[in-house]
Structure 1
Amino acid sequence: MKNLVKDTIHANGIDIGIYTQDFENEFISLTDIARYKSDEPKDVIKNWMRSKDTIEFLGLWEKLHNSNFKGVEFDSFRNQAGSNAFTMSPTKWIETTGAIGIVSKSGRYIGAYDDEPATVDAMHRFMEEQGYTLDITDQRMHHEIYLSDARRVAPEKWKTVVRHPIRRA
């Protein structure tokens, strides 16, 4: 796995993370943007993804940029989107449609984001010591869940769940 590089932009008083692995394709953190609206960014993102307009936009982007996009599954989501019973999450979208335009990142560590590479290295060493190997693919990716509100908590107390898919070596 290539190292994940993070940069930050500042907008409306909040820091928004920008991530890249190859310096050509950048991903902006929807979680950081959603934190501006609520202390529960996951809920904001899920609500945004329930919208028919959002699903149509994501589907169009995938059709233009992803030759492996699963159009039949997309059509099912598009038909359901906007109804009261429809729910969507980034993980569900990615796993069901083979999407590449949204990356869902999620282990847990405490401290500033600058400390994350050392934490991930420690996770990898522990994983190998226990007889496992990374199992990151287009379908199984690194995930991050930010448990702390960076606007209200000191950096040394930030809590993040960092998940890497693994399998027996």
Structure 2
Amino acid sequence: MAKKKSIFVKGKEISILNEKDGDFISLTDMLQAKNGDFFISDWLRNRNTVEFLGIWESVYNPNFNYGEFAIIKSQAGLNSYKISVKEWALKTNAIGLRAKAGRYGGTYAHADIAFEFGMWISAEFKIYLIKEFKRLKEDENSRLNLEWNLQRTLSKINYKIHTDAIKENIIPNLISKTQISFTYSNETDLLNVALFGITAKDWKKENPKSKGNMRDDASIEQLVVLSNMESINALLIEQGLTPKDRLIQLNKVAITQMKSLLENNSFKKISS
């Protein structure tokens, strides 16, 4: 499904759809910046426009219909010639221009083509369009790099957790016999007791002024461990362990992993 984003060019909001085959900019939105009556069909009937679109399609579209393109090109520029975006796409199998209906309705063009169309608005508009589009892509790349670095750091942390788990032989049992023997109403509370030592209901009683729940107030280390525990608990359920035995095992996991995380310098950097 296409993702919609926006940029502002000369005070006009321009929609951008991120499709599987590239970024498509709304020509319909761009027209708002044009003084006087001007239509996309006017631009599309120009011979230079048709030649540019044909070259672009020949580079990026292996299914481009050159036969139909030749007919359109021969007619382009004539006073009697007129073609819509929908007709252009239908006749030539073009992929660079798209007429969309529904939620994101309007005429969209691949970024390369939209920049060319921007010149028909004005040279100044084209320059600012390219500038804002580049800024958007730089912001996206920065976020992707941040996410990638976070994932890489978490992977290193999880690796250390597993290697430390091998070294650990004696795990202190911090949950009481009463907690072990108690029947919990759901798996969520089982995990809560294993990690936090308390059920969600009891935590709420102790923190009546809190707007959230115990997990909202959890540290990043606790949330990482909790995520790992959920996966481990699923495996323990498949193995047929009783809730009592799972609670004991999960509590040991929580203790071991929390120790590992709190001692890990890499994790301290991203959580501080």
TM-score range, shorter chain: 0.5 to 0.7
The equivalences for 1:138-149 within 5 A come to 144-145=105-106
Could you give the per-residue CA deviations for residues 73-115 of structure 1, whole angstroms, max 9, x where no partner exists?
Answer: 00111110011000011100000000011121014xxxxxxxx
CA distance in 2: counterparts of 1:35 and 1:86, whole angstroms: 25
Q: Which residue of 2 aligns with 1:68?
A: 63
Larger fraction in helix: 2
CA contact (8 A) 2:65 2:93 kept: yes
Task: Give the AA of the match of 2:105.
Answer: E
CA contact (8 A) 2:7 2:13 kept: yes
Identical aligned residues as a percent: 36
Count of matched residue pairs: 107
The residue matched to 2:100 in structure 1 has which SS? coil
Q: Which residue of 1 aligns with 2:75?
A: 80
CA distance in 2: counterparts of 1:85 and 1:26, whole angstroms: 33
CA distance in 2: counterparts of 1:76 and 1:65, whole angstroms: 20
CA distance in 2: counterparts of 1:33 and 1:21, whole angstroms: 19
Q: Which residue of 2 aligns with 1:91?
A: 86
CA distance in 2: counterparts of 1:29 and 1:98, whole angstroms: 20
TM-score, normalising length: structure 2: 0.37
Structure 2: stretches of 5+ with no match in the other structure: 108-272
Cα deviation, residue 35, structure 1: 2.2
Q: Which residue of 1 aligns with 2:26?
A: 29
After the TM superposition, which segments of 4 or more aligned residues of structure 1 sit over 3 Å from their partners? Answer: none
Structure 1: stretches of 5+ with no match in the other structure: 108-115, 117-142, 147-169
CA contact (8 A) 1:38 1:44 kept: no
Question: Is 2:8 the counterpart of 1:47?
Answer: no
CA distance in 2: counterparts of 1:86 and 1:35, whole angstroms: 25
Larger fraction in strand: 1
Question: Is 2:9 the counterpart of 1:14?
Answer: no
Could you give the per-residue CA deviations for residues 30-58 of structure 1, whole angstroms, max 9, x where no partner exists?
Answer: 11111222687xx6101110100111111
The residue matched to 1:82 in structure 2 has which SS? coil
CA distance in 1: counterparts of 2:3 and 2:39, whole angstroms: 25
TM-score, normalising length: structure 1: 0.58
CA contact (8 A) 1:37 1:44 kept: no
CA distance in 1: counterparts of 2:97 and 2:84, whole angstroms: 11
Task: Give the AA of the match of 1:105.
Answer: K
Q: Which residue of 1 aligns with 2:191?
A: none
Larger Rg: 2
